Amino acid sequence: MERWNELQRWMETIPPVDVEVEEKARKHVDNLTKPLGALGQLEEIVVRLAGMTGEVVPSIRQKATVVMCGDHGVTEEGVSAYPREVTGMMIHNFCRGKAAVNVLSKQFGSRVWVVDVGSRLEELPQGVIPCKIRAGTDNMAQGPAMTRKEAVEALWAGVDMACRMKEEGVQLLAVGEMGIGNTTAGTALTAALTEEPVAGLVGPGTGLDPEALERKRQVIERSLAVNQPDPKDPLDALAKVGGLEIAAMAGVALGASALRLPVVIDGWISTVAAWTAVRMAPRVQPYLIASHLSTEPGHRVLLDRLRLNPLIRADMRLGEGSGAVLAFPLLDGAVAAAEGMATFAELGL
C-alpha cells in the first residue's frame, strides 16, 4: 500500500490553523461599529477564515465547487426513490449548466468542477473531468463496495483536485456530490465509524416512503454485518461500505486543508466524507465550514461530532453542493463587513 503510505505522509503536512492571526481577527471584529457579537455566526466565520488562511481579513473572492460523481452497486437493493441511471443523467445536466448547483453558482459568481470518479457512464459529456477509478461500486449488502486500493485511489483523486483548484487560484472551495444510493453508503459509513445505531442516522434520501425506509435500514444493517468494517480504521470502513465519490470528497478535504484552503461542506453525504477525512487526519477539522443543515437525520449527529454550526436552515436535501453554494453570499458578507465597516476608534470612541 505505497499510495496509502504516501497519503498518510500528506496528512502529516496539514498545518494547524494560525491562532495568532485568529486572535488579531477577533480583536478587529470586536472593534467594529456594532454591539459585541451582534453579527453572530458571521463574526465566527471571519475569525475562523483568518486562522485558516493566515490573513486577518481573508480573501475568498475566487470560489469553486467540486461535484464528485459515482454510482453505487447497493442500488440493486431498492434503497433509493430514483433509478441509478439518474447519476449519469445528472452528470449531463451539470455539463449543460442546468442543475441547481450550476444555477446557484452562476447567481453567486463561482465555478463548478464536475468530476467523474465512479459513474457507470462509458462516454462522458464535454466538461467532465475524467478520474474514473471504476464504474460504480459493488453491492455492499453482499460484500465490500470496493477494495482498499480503489478507496485510496479515489482519495488521491480528491487530493489532486484540491491541488488543481489551488493552482487555478481558487481561495475557498465547496464539496458536493452526485450518486444515486449514496445516502445508504453514507449512513453505513457513519454507523461503522461512530458505532451509533443505524435507526438514528438513516433517512429517506431522495424520498423513500416509510416502508422503503425500513428496508433501507435493514440493507444497511446487513451491509455492516456482512462486511464487519473496523470502527477504528476509516480506510477499511470507507472501502467496505463507502463510495467512490465519498472517498474523493474526503480526499478534497485532506488536500484542501494541507493547502490552507477553507472547505465548505454541503449536506449529509459531503459531511460524512468530511467526517471520514477528520477520522483519518484530525487536523482537517478546523478547515471545515458547515453551510446548511440537511433534513437527513444523521447530518445533525455528525455536525455535532464535528462541532460545526451550520449557517443555513432551509430544509434542503438535494446534494450536488447546492447548500454550500448558497452559503457563499453569507461568507462574502462576513468578509465584506470585516473589511468595510468602521472601527470605534475611527469614530473617535
Ligand X SMILES: O=C(O)c1ccc[n+]([C@@H]2O[C@H](COP(=O)([O-])O)[C@@H](O)[C@H]2O)c1
Ligand Y SMILES: Cc1cc2nc[nH]c2cc1C
Active site amino acids? 320
Interhelix angle 268-280/297-305, rounded to 10 degrees, is 30
In the bound state, the residue with its beta carbon closest to ligand X is 319
| Grid coordinates of 130 | 475524467
Running DSSP on this structure, what letter comes out for residue 342? Answer: P
Alpha-carbon 134 to chain mean position: 21
In this chain, which stretch among 4-12, 152-160, 236-244, 317-325 interacts with ligand X, using CB under 6 A? 317-325
For ligand X, the closer of residues 236 and 296 by Cβ is 296
Instruction: Give backbone dihedrals phi and psi of 147, rounded to 5 degrees, phi first.
Output: -85, 165
Spatial contact of 308 and 290, defined as CB atoms under 8 Å apart? yes
Q: Cell numbers 468595510 label which residue?
A: 340
- Strands (E) across 185-301 are located at 263-265, 288-290
Among 29, 178, 224, 264, binds ligand X (CB under 6 A): 178
Spatial contact of 261 and 287, defined as CB atoms under 8 Å apart? yes
Q: Confirm or reject binding of residue 135 to ligand Y (CB under 6 A).
A: no
Within positions 306 to 325, which residues make up the interface with ligand Y, using CB under 6 A?
A: 318-320
> What distance in Å separates the CA atoms of residue 241 and residue 229, rounded to the nearest whole number?
8
> What distance in Å separates the CA atoms of residue 294 and residue 287, rounded to the nearest whole number?
20
What is the rounded end-to-end Cα distance, in angstroms, of the chain? 62
- CA-CA-CA-CA dihedral for 332, 101, 7, 135, to nearest 10: 180
Pairing of strands 172-178, 263-265: parallel
Residues 6+ apart with CB under 8 A from 2: none
In this chain, which stretch among 31-39, 147-155, 163-171, 311-319 interacts with ligand X, using CB under 6 A? 311-319
CB of 183 to ligand X, least distance (A): 3
For ligand X, the closer of residues 151 and 185 by Cβ is 185
For ligand X, the closer of residues 85 and 230 by Cβ is 85
- Partner whose binding site includes residue 294, from ligand Y, ligand X, none (CB under 5 to 8 Å by kind): ligand X
CB of 140 to ligand Y, least distance (A): 19
Side chain identity, residue 292: H
Question: With contacts defined by CB under 6 A, how many residues of the chain interact with ligand Y?
Answer: 8
Side chain identity, residue 207: G
Q: Confirm or reject binding of residue 184 to ligand X (CB under 6 A).
A: yes
- Partner whose binding site includes residue 58, from ligand X, ligand Y, none (CB under 5 to 8 Å by kind): none
Within positions 70 to 99, which residues make up the interface with ligand X, using CB under 6 A?
A: 80-82
Side chain identity, residue 260: R
- Partner whose binding site includes residue 205, from ligand X, ligand Y, none (CB under 5 to 8 Å by kind): ligand X
- Binding track over 187-216 against ligand X, x by CB under 6 A: ------------------xx----------
| Grid coordinates of 49 | 477564515
Q: Confirm or reject binding of residue 181 to ligand X (CB under 6 A).
A: yes
- Binding track over 44-83 against ligand Y, x by CB under 6 A: --------------------------------------x-
Q: Confirm or reject binding of residue 90 to ligand Y (CB under 6 A).
A: yes
For ligand X, the closer of residues 132 and 283 by Cβ is 132
Measured CA distances, 203 to 186, 190, 274, 285 (Å): 11, 13, 19, 25
Within positions 219 to 238, which residues make up the interface with ligand X, using CB under 6 A?
A: none
Question: With contacts defined by CB under 6 A, how many residues of the chain interact with ligand X?
Answer: 23
- Partner whose binding site includes residue 268, from ligand Y, ligand X, none (CB under 5 to 8 Å by kind): ligand X
- What length is written for the chain? 349
CB of 177 to ligand X, least distance (A): 5
Which residues contact ligand Y by CB under 6 A? 82, 86, 90, 178, 206, 318-320
Which residues contact ligand X by CB under 6 A? 80-82, 177-184, 205-206, 266-269, 294, 296, 317-320
